[in-house]
Structure 1
């Protein structure tokens, strides 16, 4: 008993020593409710880097909620707020933290906008969702051209921006990198020198704070050690789980034997798991193929082939980048050759949230059942390997967007653009009015309007909005549409309707008139959004300022008049209030009237008194009925074939036939080469005004 007495006396003293130390030193409260933060952060004045704990137990810095804290950075949630004073950004510069250079600071009301490292489309999408009015177009973005360090607050203030909107954070600003929207990353440090704080077996990283003052540092454990590296906290200890210490330093030979045995068992279980997964995957692929065939065979009106995944891989040369035609909201499109050796467009749909083969096949049935001369035809599908692949007819003359932006050819003359607009409107109206239930496209844009050999308009992706989301009553909380084309009311109620398609098509009409980009940050801040610019100019009677000079609007009276009529129609389509927008059926009829007016005086078309058939009239069934009567009888118009209008000009030279004579010789030559549409001069020579 006498021998053990010193030990018994020593243990209580040892256990009490931390309490005595804590009482004799400054105390730091590191808990906020049930959540705690690591050293050196805390929620009392004596902490090395003090934070705030709100009444509802939310961790804050300068009033902004904390998302995460790790060994070198803090991430805060920066909710986008319109007209927040720029001085609010200064609150993010504390005694031991500041915004790192991996942020793009989003600013508002700027007289000297700064270039931004992140894609402008991403920035615009972010701003469009905020709905700042009326200054939402005067947005700028500040970022540093460095990967280490901090955002220079003085340089931000010199941009002459008045408001701090939000921030976007990323590991880098490459196009492939994932961006964190409405997030700011703070780098943090401790003030002072390393010898006083870093523990043994720890490195000391010196930090240069953004403002002149005391230098800073951070500690981190050397390889093979774990902990936070600070003397006042956990310090560094050997990591016995790493291969570096298997030799026995962390458990001896017994530990080594147990470790080796555990590795062997783990390897065996892993091999078994891989074999089971491969077997199940093979079963699943076989089940998918049989399910797809069964669902298609049950529908007597569906007759599209189902291709194997291997056949699709072979057709696209393993989804080669050389055969990639483009990437959109719903997937990537590749050119490929299948069994009949003809070119097709193969769309590899992006990963979906649902694995239901029944739902996928039902959606494919829906798309394949829709038939219209101005909708891209679905030729087949592949449902294997967890992939959902659709095969479409190939469009050799690219997209309307490529022609308007002069990426293919030198431009399209006005009659051709007007015909494309009229055909596109007819296709969308068909989806809205001739399908039960109606289909809302939800992503109408010039890059989804394709052109065939004859420069006939073909609308793509008209069913993929259904494939992209599971929803109830067309209400969605997932992002839909493309920046610049999106219905402004969508952000108020997350509701997409037929009038949302009308708005998007109105933007396409403005593109056709101006040949300008829908979103362009190289334009002045208040002209970034093309729809806003167009409604302003049209409303003020200054449309001539934005008409594409290539169209030569003053070359003849019909060209000038018809451009203004299309602009007025677009203006109504872009109305903020959905109830004020026309239906797509009304849009299609009006565009066809404008197109036909080129060959017949307007008074003869609208009066319906002409005894002869117009040389530019349609060959469809509505030729028996004056167009004015059709406009006033929408039900009759739908039943009598409005949506199957075709151009068969007699007196007027057939524009499409003339373009066909100058179109590329073969599909194979088109998509692989730089060959584009006929030159603007040849087009104009073949068009009779």
Structure 2
């Protein structure tokens, strides 16, 4: 027994130290590729393994050209300056001109890793612009046979009216950019500079000076110091710098004092080394002893607990879905409590403490409540930095809610689109309550303006409603291109800012959609009146399920009626059934909001009929005959062009 324990202890120590020896040698190497040379931490790639750098900072080398990929966009690395912690790069797809052959994507940077360099501004490129009403100087227009002719704009995105797509690219701010498209192309090729924000942790100057090399602790998500003797440190304190030669510090004292006291210093270090080694061995022994005792106790206690749990399950236990219908898309996240509390981000989202959000909402004051749903209540709050936010407080902190919570954080933190609500951050999954922090959108929801507390404002004319439809479709089409199904599309989840710009929200029911399957089998979830009937019957969730829900939204926009209203006639309680019935009977006048001028204006009547027809196609019982979200977006843009012509008269 003693021999086995000693052998296990020695093997444990060997395997604990051995990886560090290998990692030290690997991370001593630097990245070299063409003009980019001697690049080390926080980057990795080629001869440098993942443990030598931040996971998302992988460098590649092809034909002596260094590259990096971020948020599914490939960049050419132009310069790396470790002293200033800056990285200069240019988009690969725009090196040959302003009309790339690949799919259009925004330049999106992880705010937890980078901040834009000084002197750079956003350049917006609009594609597929066919509207004669878009007033843009000729020298800012360009020809693009791949994505449609377009134009450029210096500054933030200016909307998509009359255009199909837009791309935002950072460029060096210069008045000369306004000279023309060729100047802007040159600016894009010259690239832009970012400053990285990486927690160096134990990888400070003392690590390198003592002979160590910098690496990255994937668990703690911070820098770490690897040493030649196999000892690594996650702290930058002087007591933990690398040591060699039997425990003597790499730093040697200088002067006569060092010469006279050198041997005594070595003896002291040897004694200290032996003490530390003995303490480590003793700690391992105690750890093994506690583990064995705990494991033995669990064998005796577990059966009793199990039988007790089966006899009287807690009232908050989640309802389990049969494995046939459970989606295998959501992965498990093996992060511990300490991992989350030590980090400053979670899936790229900022971590807030419960106390600071409680303070921001005045202890979740009921007067600050913005709304509630089946999963939580949303409160208005103000952070210490002055930002106004919406804080979603999930009702229950059980397994089901944690899964939903993590799902929403993961999805929102990696999406960037002008018509999607921004997620600022969240609490730890181990917090006393699960809280999500969003940007505050001040003008309520589309439901509020159609049939809620702001329904009589008179601000939703036909032009505004078409704009809402287009921007919502644009957001959903973007999600589908990212292989994400929203699964809870409804007017209560479409927020409006003061300019009536759409912000689609509430991704708590979203599902990442795998590329190699046609549908996801899962128990139906969603809001009554919006749920795809085929999804409800067959448990098969697809992108066309969102299309059906959006069809209900289209009908709401032209009727101002609720998706479900038990005060209506029995056959008309469900708005989708009512719409299909009126359209088939050519009685659209009984459905449309009379304030839109359907009966008195032929042009308005024609456009509303076009929207109703599109809604009818979306509401088909069989998903295969419904249009895709991209097709819906294109059809709405065609209708939107007509609205532009009459918008000023409405």
Establish whether TM, by shorter chain, passes 0.5.
no
TM-score where L is the length of structure 1:
0.42
TM-score where L is the length of structure 2:
0.45
The structure number with the bigger radius of gyration is 1
